[in-house]
Structures are given as structure tokens and as C-alpha cells.
Amino acid sequence: MATEADLRHLHRCVELAAEALEKGDEPFGSVLVSADGAALAEDHNRVAGGDHTRHPEFELARWAAANMTPEERAAATVYTSGEHCPMCAAAHGWVGLGRIVYAASSAQLVSWLAELGVPAAPVRALPIQEVAPGVVVEGPVPELEERVHDLHRRFHTAR
Ligand SMILES: [Zn+2]
């Protein structure tokens, strides 16, 4: 169950995803939160320039490796509008970050994109725990699913 604090951070992720959409990028946003609840870093998707590895969860994993001790990373939480892809789940696992809370699952995203007629991605959408089995994962969060769905609908119908 998502707590009040979880929902607050997830709302910020959805805002970041909306910012990405306004800039013509895919609507994904993520926030890295310390054990004491402070938002340390945030980012949104930046793939519009052509580098499709510029996912926010990947950026946050690198930021955590550069700026946090292993203990701080293990106690931190990454909130994200959409479940980590396998690349980002691997980065999260390799740098030893803690819990993940996502608003919408990869399975939901795959079915939404199929409904919109978007061609399949080049990387399979696996659940985070198939890639990084030690990570505690929570989601999807029903309060936010429809907002995330709407952002993706807008991104793919605006082109
Ligand atoms: Zn990713």
C-alpha cells in the first residue's frame, strides 16, 4: 500500500513526466528519496535527442553511485511514473539502491501502447524483479494509473 509520502513523491514523478511531454519527450519522470524522506534528485526522460538510454531511472542510479554511500543507497527509495525497464532495473540493482515504487507497471504500458498502435520496443518489458530480484518493489498505484495512461495517450496521438 502506498503511504501519503509515497503518493506525494509519485505525484512529483507524474509532474516530471508531464514536463517531459511538454518538451516533446516521452512522459516518464522519477525521484530519488533518501531514508529520511528528502528528495535528493529527480529527472525525466530525455530521449528526444536520439539517445534512447536517457531514462530518468538510469540517470538517478548514476547520480546515486556518484553521490551516496552504499548504505545511503540501500536505504533510499526510487519513485517513478512507470516501472523501470530492464536497463534501468539493472542499473538500480548494480548500484545497490533500495525500494522502488512505481505508478504504472511495464505490463500496463505495453498494453496501452499496443492499443495505441505503437510498434513494439526493441527491449522486452520484464518486471523489475526478474532483472533485480533483491529489490523491494511496489506498484502499480491505482490513484495515479489513469494520469500516467493519459500522458502516454497524449504523447502517441500528438504525432
Ligand atoms: Zn529505463
Q: Residue 45 C-alpha to ligand 1 middle, in angstroms?
A: 9
Spacing, Cα 2 to ligand 1 middle (Å): 22
Model confidence at 1, pLDDT cuts 50, 70, 90, reads confident
pLDDT of the residue at 156: 94
Tell me how far the alpha carbon of residue 107 lies from the centroid of ligand 1, in angstroms.
14
Secondary structure, 3-state, the chain? CCCHHHHHHHHHHHHHHHHHHHCCCCCCEEEEECCCCCEEEEEECCCCCCCCCCCHHHHHHHHHHHHCCHHHHHHCEEEEEECCCHHHHHHHHHCCCCEEEEEECHHHHHHHHHHCCCCCCCCCCCCHHHHCCCCCEECCCHHHHHHHHHHHHHHHHCC
40-57 per-position pLDDT tens digit? 999 999 999 999 999 999
Q: From ligand 1's centre to the CA of 83, what distance in Å? A: 8
pLDDT bin (cut points 50, 70, 90) of residue 159 is low
Distance 158 CA to ligand 1 centre (A): 22
159 or 52, which is more confident: 52
Q: Are 13 and 55 spatial neighbours (Cβ–Cβ below 8 Å)?
A: no
Q: What is the pTM of this model?
A: 0.97
115 alpha carbon to ligand 1 midpoint, in Å? Answer: 21
